[in-house]
Structure 1
Amino acid sequence: MSGKEGNEAEARARLSRIYEYDYEKGTIKLRNRKCPRCGNIMAHHEAPVERWMCGSCHYTEITEAGSIQR
């Protein structure tokens, strides 16, 4: 496999982690949430507290399951 073919395969694998494909309906859906502040894709973290976080603007949403009880 040449370098170009390897890069294309890596790009396809990366996209399959970001999007869900429904081949029967012909739709593509984003797996993660979009940041309400800047519009970038947010990451889901489970440890130490379950939360959604934007890596660009650092906007964070803590989920109910991850809420800190005091």
Structure 2
Amino acid sequence: MGKTQKYKYYKIEGDKVVRLKKFCPKCGPGVFMAEHLNRYACGRCGYTEWKNSGKKEE
């Protein structure tokens, strides 16, 4: 397996560290979710959250 570059998942704003990716709600802190075009997915447990398309169907 390749090495994960976790330093790319954080950003420093002033004296605070900000996470750029979401944590998996099932696996807990430390397990990031992958961001796809229409969803967020956890590679560890398979949990998926769908993004809102922004369209309202009537």
Normalised by the size of structure 2, how large is the TM-score? 0.72
Find the aligned partners of 1:57 and 1:32 in 2 and give their Cα distance. Answer: 16
Task: Give, as a single letter, the amino acid of the residue that structure 2 aligns with 1:56.
Answer: R
Q: Which residue of 2 aligns with 1:61?
A: 49
Find the aligned partners of 1:54 and 1:15 in 2 and give their Cα distance. Answer: 15
Q: What count of residue pairs does the alignment treat as equivalent?
A: 50
Structure with more helix by fraction: 1
The structural deviation recorded for 1:54 is 0.4
Find the aligned partners of 1:18 and 1:64 in 2 and give their Cα distance. Answer: 23
The higher radius of gyration belongs to 1
Are 1:32 and 2:18 matched, yes or no? Answer: no
Question: Can you give the 5+ residue segments of structure 1 that lack an aligned partner in the other structure?
Answer: 1-10
- Identical pairs, percent: 32
The SS at the match of 2:53 is helix
| Aligned structure 1 segments of 4 or more residues deviating by more than 2 angstroms | none
The SS at the match of 2:22 is coil
Task: Give, as a single letter, the amino acid of the residue that structure 2 aligns with 1:65.
Answer: S
Normalised by the size of structure 1, how large is the TM-score? 0.61
Find the aligned partners of 1:29 and 1:42 in 2 and give their Cα distance. Answer: 15
